[in-house]
Amino acid sequence: MKPYTLFVALTCLLFACKGGNDTTEKKDDHTNLAEEIVELTPQQLQHADLQVGVPTVRNMHATIKVNGQVDVPPQSMISVSFPLGGYLKSSHLLPGMGVKKGEVIATLEDQSYVQLQQDYLVARARMEFLTADLQRQKDLSEQEAASKKIYQQAQADFKTQQVLIRSYEEKLRIVGVDPDKLSVNNISRTVNLRSPINGYVTKVNVNIGKYVNPSDVLFELVDPDDIHAALTVFEKDIMHIKKGMTAKVSLADDPKKQFEVDVILVTRNVDESRSGLVHCHFEHSSHDLLPGMFLNGVFELDNQKVIAVPNDAVVRFAGKHYVFVAKDSSHFEMKEVETGLEQDGWIEIKENAKTPWSAQQLVLKNAYTLLGKLKNKAEE
């Protein structure tokens, strides 16, 4: 390659590299506006209508808006089944009906009920014989008129029969039959199924004449006195919620009717949607609320003194918050700021060691005018 040609190539390469660096620097200046200062002429200041002053110390309280639904704890949701199975002979239940504890909610029929009662009565009759035989063998053994082996066998038979009768009694109680009142004259092929709680019916899963297995759920009942609000709180707010705090919730379709609740449990985990559950008790039980109803709610945090400026003083750019510090009457520097509570048109700016905001002269009105001027300058 000739010397002249080599010189030209090196010169072009040098200018290309310098041009690339200028582009990068210009791009950096455009995105890093926080280090820029805006200068306004007297005419621009008049049109901008800026207001400069120091931040104000105010009492502010935060509100946390939540949503959720009416929920029921597991112990208040009852699935009713029948341990022996059988045919449903009768039931008057419909979803939404109220029931009382001990009320007959269904009648079932099956030959196995007759067999169970028969086995119990037969076992009890045999027990009378074994009791007398045991006493007889005891007397004979004491008089040495019979071997001790026969007496021991009578003892074993008696204890075995005791176990058998006890097990039959418990089986009868499970199906709702009182063994103390059972006799030959009142053996029945039907048994009554009774409600275990005071509440109302949410589901009826059977119809008359259907055979139900022991594992089948016939009815689902709910105790309305223990319903609670399960509220969803985002992870940035959940650390502010404590047990014992109060809130007001309302139905999504009736926001005017509010219910007071207090926190009984805050979950210790956050799900994939970055939120957690807060369980709250209703201060006054209301039977108008049903499980699954959607709720909106608000938690109000305690008042605290903060340094605050009007919302108009804080500008948002590239996902961050900034304020303009007045260097003099015509020069303004944009600086990043960390914000906090917002209330009634005011926003908290948090102090830091580098910049004590309470002593700074800030633009409190029309700060976005300066941001627009700064962006135009960067684009030029």
Q: Which residue has the higher pLDDT, 2 or 328?
A: 328
Please tell me the predicted confidence (pLDDT) of residue 146: 66
Please tell me the predicted confidence (pLDDT) of residue 2: 43
Using the Cα atoms of residue 49, residue 54, residue 59 and residue 64 in order, give the sign of their dihedral: positive
Say yes or no to pLDDT of 16 above 50: no
Residue 89 within a domain: no
Which of 172, 187, 202 terminates a domain? The answer is 187
Which of 141, 160, 187 terminates a domain? The answer is 187
Residue 88 within a domain: no
Q: What is the mean pLDDT of residues 144-167?
A: 88
The domain in which residue 177 lies consists of 111-187
Using the Cα atoms of residue 204, residue 79, residue 198 and residue 285 in order, give the sign of their dihedral: negative
Q: How sure is the predictor about 125, in pLDDT bands with cuts at 50, 70 and 90?
A: very high
Q: What is the mean pLDDT of residues 162-190?
A: 93
How many CA atoms lie less than 13 Å away from 6 in the CB half-sphere? 3
CB 233 within 8 A of CB 66: yes
Residue 99 within a domain: no
If you search the block for the tokens 């210790």, which residue do you land on? 268
Please tell me the predicted confidence (pLDDT) of residue 379: 59
Number of structural domains (the chain) is 2
Say yes or no to pLDDT of 141 above 90: no
Say yes or no to pLDDT of 12 above 50: no
Q: What is the mean pLDDT of the chain?
A: 83
Is this prediction's pTM over 0.75?
Answer: no
CB 130 within 8 A of CB 161: yes
Q: Could you tell me which of 290, 282, 294, 295 has the C-alpha nearest to residue 96? A: 290
Q: How sure is the predictor about 50, in pLDDT bands with cuts at 50, 70 and 90?
A: confident
Read off the DSSP letter of residue 181.
G
Residue 214 within a domain: no
pLDDT in tens, 263-280: 998 988 888 888 899 999
Residue 250 within a domain: no
Residue 41 within a domain: yes
Please tell me the predicted confidence (pLDDT) of residue 286: 61
Please tell me the predicted confidence (pLDDT) of residue 278: 92
Residue 157 within a domain: yes
Q: Where are the alpha helices (DSSP H) in the chain?
A: 3-31, 42-48, 111-142, 148-174, 235-238, 367-379
Q: What is the mean pLDDT of residues 166-183?
A: 93
Give the Cα-Cα-Cα angle 302, 308, 311 (nearest 5 degrees): 110
356: domain CATH number?
2.40.420.20
Please tell me the predicted confidence (pLDDT) of residue 35: 55
Which of 133, 160, 187 terminates a domain? The answer is 187
Please tell me the predicted confidence (pLDDT) of residue 333: 87
Say yes or no to pLDDT of 116 above 60: yes
Q: How sure is the predictor about 159, in pLDDT bands with cuts at 50, 70 and 90?
A: very high
Contacts of 155 (CB under 8 A, 6+ apart): 134
Burial class (CB in 10 A: 0-12, 13-18, 19+), 251: middle
Q: Which residue has the higher pLDDT, 14 or 185?
A: 185
Q: What is the mean pLDDT of residues 125-138?
A: 90
Residue 165 within a domain: yes
Please tell me the predicted confidence (pLDDT) of residue 377: 65
Task: Tell me the C-alpha distance between 300 and 231, whole Å.
Answer: 15
How many CA atoms lie less than 13 Å away from 2 in the CB half-sphere? 3
How many CA atoms lie less than 13 Å away from 81 in the CB half-sphere? 10
